[in-house]
Amino acid sequence: MALVSRNLELLQQAAAEIKNKGGVAEVFTADVTVESEVEKLKADVLKRFPRVDILINNAGINIRKAIHEFTLDEWMQVENTNVTSAFLVCRAFVPQMKGAGYGRIINMTSIMSHVAIAGRTAYAASKSALLGLTKALALELVTEGITVNGISPGPFATELNQPILQNKELNAAFIAKIPVGRWGRVEEVADLAVYLCSENAGFITGTDILIDGGWTAQ
């Protein structure tokens, strides 16, 4: 397993957890919004592993503010992190994924690919674009046996949502909007990703799976 991030310390912690459970993990530092770093990443990963058959794009950032308060740099930071990174990584690794008759690409989309909240213009725009990329790429790769799907998490207790989790009133208001009455657990997303990467999920492609505690059903 190749783990990629800008933060070497967090990479090493994740790799240690995987190895303690009997897995194999190698760490690679890269900023996946930078073309030259993604190209170097491809070369480094393929030196260590014979090929890459499963690709998960989960780089993400959210800046919450009214649209007139955004600077162009802030807007582009969100778009580049959430969308352009997936394009660059797919462009780099898809060619060597072809020819095996099997492959899995998972893009971490969001419920903001489907619905919106005020103050999330950049994030919603980026995640909607990522969903469009997912669908188009699925059709592009279908004859190769490579599936491309999105996973759209709703409210999960992750670092990205710390501004809400740390605010007692906002947290209570958010939970009140979730039909199942709680935040999601990251393990639930992981289990879904494992299934989508299995042989049994070969008929699932070009779609987006919502895992949101019923949020978008309302």
Residues annotated as catalytic are 123
* 2 beta partners: 26
SS (H, E, C) 54-79: EEEECCCCCCCCCHHHCCHHHHHHHH
18-42 exposure pattern, b = at least 16 Cβ within 10 A, e = fewer: eeeeeeebebbebbbbbeebbeebb
Q: For residues 209 and 31, what is the distance between their CA atoms, to the nearest angstrom?
A: 27
Helices (H), 82-120: 85-97
Could you tell me whether strands 146-153 and 103-108 are parallel, antiparallel, or unpaired per DSSP bridges? parallel
Residue 144 DSSP one-character state: G
Residue 106 DSSP one-character state: E
112-139 exposure pattern, b = at least 16 Cβ within 10 A, e = fewer: bbbbeeeebbbbbbbbbbbbebbbebbe
